[in-house]
Structure 1
C-alpha cells in the first residue's frame, strides 16, 4: 500500500498548497489526497517536482452534479485515480427510503464520472434504519466504492476491521485515523483505534492507499510527521 495525507489536515497553515508538497514528500509520504484545488496545472507541476502522486480528491456532491465534465478535466490534469464524495448530511440517512435515494444519487454521480467514485463515511451513517444501519444499507444498495474512515467508524461503535473484511474489494482508499475514548480525532498512536489490525485488514481487502487524516490538529505539521512515522512502522511490521 502507498501512503498519503489528506490535505484537509493542513488547511489551517498559512502556506500555499504547492509549497507544502516538498515538506510532505520529505516526511516520506507517497502522495496527497485533495480537499479542493486552486490551480490544477500549477498543482500538477508542484506534485511532479516533489515526486508526489494523487491518491484521490474530495469533491462535494453538489459540485459533481453541477459540472461533472469540468471536475473530470481537473482531476485528469492531476492524475487523480478516485473522486470521493466526502460528506452527506444526516438527512440522507434518516430512514431506509432516504438511504435508498442516497444510493441511487451516488450511482448516478458515478455514471457521470470517468473514474471510480467513492463515498467517505463519518459516524452519522451508522444510525439504525430498521434491522440494519444506514451505512450497511447504503453499501448493499449502491455500487460505488467506499473510502472507509476507520476512526469515524470506530467512534460510531463499529469495528473497522470487520467492516474492511465485509468491504473486500470495495475499499481502494482507507483513512487511517485515531480517536480518543470520547470519539474525538487525535494523532495516530495516541488514541484507541486498533491501528495495526486496521492496516492488516486494509491490506487483506485490497486497499491501495492508506491516507492519514486528522480533522483538527493542534500542530498540523507535527501531526503530519507523526502520521507517516506511525504508518511506515505499521506497514513495515505487517
Structure 2
C-alpha cells in the first residue's frame, strides 16, 4: 500500500508552531508527514501528541548532511547522536539528505567523494536501526563521463543508501521520472511528488506543470514504494496547496 505524506517545507512560510502545522496536515487528509527543520523548534512530546491526534505517521525527515557529520571534531559524536535521538523519539526511521550544492556533481571525482560520504553515513545510521536516503534536485543530472551524475552516485554507493526521487526536479534535469523509478526500484521507498514547469524551471501545483503523475504513480506502485510525499517549493497559498496536493495524489492512486 502506498501512503501519502507532505513535506513540511511546503508550509515554511506559515508563522505557526509545528504542532499547529501538523493539525493542518491532518485536516488535509494525509497519512503522514516528512519533517524538515522545524522538528527542532517544538518540544517532542507536543509534536508526538499532534501526530497522534491527527492520525499521522512520521514518514521520514530531511536532515542536512551537516547535522550528521560537519561538526567540530570534538563535537561530532554528540552532533550525530543528537540527530539520531531526536528522530528516534519522533518515530522517524528514514533520514534524507535533502541537498548538496551542484558543485558536488560537476566531476567524477566530486561524485565519488559524495558517494563515500553517504556510504559512511548509511553505515553509521544502519548501526542505529535507521535508513539513509538521498534526495535529488536538478543538479544531479549534469553529465559526468557520459552519464548523469545521479547514475554514477547510485552506482558507487552501497545499497544501504536509498534514493528519494524528486520527480519534478528529475524532470527539470532532463530525466524521465517514471523510468528513473523503474531503474532504481530496489533503492526507492519514498518518492517526492512535485510538479514543475520545465520551460521556466519553477515548482508548480500538481497538474499545472509537465509531470505525468499517472506514470509516476504506476512506477511507484511497481517499485513497492512506501510513501508518496507531496511538495511545492513556493506555494502562494500553502494550506490550499497541500489540500490540492492530497486530492491529486489520492485521485492518481485510485
Which structure 1 residue ranges, 5 or more long, are not aligned?
none
Q: Is the 8 A contact 2:26 2:54 kept in 1?
A: yes
Q: What is the CA distance between 1:124 and its match in structure 2?
A: 0.4
Indicate the larger mover: 36-45 or 129-138. 36-45
Q: Which residue of 2 aligns with 1:205?
A: 223
The offset of 1:40, in angstroms, is 2.6
Identify the residue that residue 225 of structure 1 maps to in structure 2. 243
SS in 2 for 1:55: strand
Which of 149, 154, 162 in structure 2 is aligned with 1:139?
A: 154
Counterpart of 1:88 in structure 2 is: 100
- 1:1-238 equivalences under 5 Å are 1-36=2-37, 37=39, 38=41, 39-65=43-69, 66=71, 67-113=79-125, 114=128, 115-143=130-158, 144-182=161-199, 183-236=201-254
**In the aligned structure 2, how far is the partner of 1:51 from the partner of 1:126?**
37
**Preserved CA contact (<8 Å) 2:93 2:131:** yes
Aligned partners of 1:68 and 1:112 also within 8 Å: no
| Alpha-carbon separation, structure 2, partners of 1:221 and 1:137 | 38
Q: Per-residue CA shift, 1:104-124, capped at 9, x if unaligned?
A: 000111122121100000000
Kept in 1, the 8 Å contact 2:171–2:198? The answer is: no
Question: TM-score of the superposition, structure 1-length normalised?
Answer: 0.97
Match of 2:186, SS?
coil
Which stretch has the larger CA shift, 3-12 or 15-24?
Answer: 15-24
Unaligned stretches of 5+ residues in structure 2: 72-78
Q: 3-state SS of the aligned residue for 1:169?
A: helix
Aligned counterparts of 1:128 and 1:100: Cα–Cα separation in 2: 14
Cα RMSD (Å):
1.0
Normalising by the residue count of structure 2, what TM-score does the alignment of the two structures yield? 0.91
C-alpha separation in 2, matches of 1:181 and 1:157: 9
Corresponding residue SS for 2:48 = helix
How many residues are treated as equivalent by the alignment? 236
Q: Give yes or no for contact 1:169–1:207 (8 Å, CA) kept in 2.
A: no
SS of the residue corresponding to residue 252 of structure 2 reads: helix
Shift of 1:152: 0.1
Per-residue deviation, 1:174: 0.3
Number of the residue aligned with 2:74: none
